[in-house]
Amino acid sequence: MIIVFGMLAIGGLFFLVVGTIGLMRFPDMLTRMHSAAKCDTLGAALILTALIIYNGLNIVSLKLILIILFLWLTNPTATHLIAKANTEQSFKKSIKGGGIER
């Protein structure tokens, strides 16, 4: 049980660190958002799963499962909406500038 907990926790920390490095290294907003959203969701889910295994099956585990489901639903949705707003804003700016920039 401790070995599985450790592997999941280390895996979650790995994805969170990779997401942070992606935020610093990628050039534009959309690639930074992609890195942050994917790694943040997976890292948090792995760490919360490790906590479920460490804690055992009880009411706290149920709450952690609900948190995982909430994160899996809201993180991609929020990222999609922010990316859509950014795309629409950049399109409106290109129209005001006299034409679509390529």
Taken in order 50, 56, 61, 62, the sign of the CA dihedral is: positive
Tell whether the model's pLDDT for residue 42 goes beyond 70. Answer: yes
Q: Whats the size of the chain, residue-wise?
A: 102
pLDDT value for 13: 96
Tell whether the model's pLDDT for residue 99 goes beyond 60. Answer: no
pLDDT value for 100: 54
Element (H, E) at 102: none
Higher pLDDT, 98 or 73: 73
Q: What is the mean pLDDT of residues 38-64?
A: 94
Looking at residue 31, its amino acid is T
Q: What is the mean pLDDT of residues 61-77?
A: 94
Tell whether the model's pLDDT for residue 1 goes beyond 80. Answer: yes
pTM for the predicted model, two decimal places: 0.81
